[in-house]
Amino acid sequence: MKRAWGPWLRGLLLGLLLSCGAYAAVPSPASAPAPAQPAAAAASKPVAALNASAAKRRAWADLNSYKFGPGDVIDIYVYGEPELTRTKIQLSESGTIAFPFGNIDAVGLTPGQLEIAIENGFKQGYLVNPKVSVVIDQYRPFFIYGEVKKPGAYPFQPGLNVRKAVTLAGGFTERADQDKIYIVRDADPKNIAHKINLSGQVFPGDTLTVEESFF
């Protein structure tokens, strides 16, 4: 009796092919793709000084109109000329800063005006196309006197108002009249005291006085 080898053999071969295909579809650990690696950080970084410059210039919205005064500490960066860069310059009463081309009086100038003055000085036979950035490293202090627990001078902070200034000075005393607070603006040549409320802004060099209550 003859067996029907044809159909049986075809079925066996088909089963073997299918099993081989299924096995091939499963990747072996050796052939599995490696997990994606995070992108490497950029090899070149911007000059740290210039990054600091941009950050500090954004720290206070009124910086463009801010005028330097004695006690301000500034940094001066000259692009591409690290040997001419100077940091931690504390302005004196005269505000004079010495450069190879001569002296510049910084007091009363805005950061932009000082940058232009320095650039113009370097153009006098020193640099072809100087680019200068002036940054306030530390603002001159403000002063608070009268009925606060710790009167004196305090470092200015961008966004400072009277309420925050009083907090820095330890708060009001029991005798303080919170409705009688006066401020003398550092920018006022006449030094006139004006009444100010707790939400009023305080700027570098300003002087606050908290009056005593008589009731």
Chain segment 115-172, per-residue pLDDT in tens: 999 999 999 989 999 999 999 999 999 999 999 999 999 999 888 999 999 999 999 9
Domain final residue, candidates 96, 119, 138: 138
Residue ranges making up the domain that contains 109:
48-138
Evaluate if residue 196 carries a pLDDT over 80. yes
Chain segment 9-46, per-residue pLDDT in tens: 555 555 554 454 444 444 444 444 444 444 444 333 33
CA distances 94 to 28, 72, 78, 107, Å, are 78, 12, 23, 7
This prediction's pTM = 0.66
**Cβ contact 165:152 at 8 Å:** no
**Cβ contact 171:210 at 8 Å:** no
Same domain membership, residue 107 and residue 55 = yes
Same domain membership, residue 167 and residue 112 = no
In a domain, 6, yes or no: no
**Per the structure, how many domains does the chain have?**
2
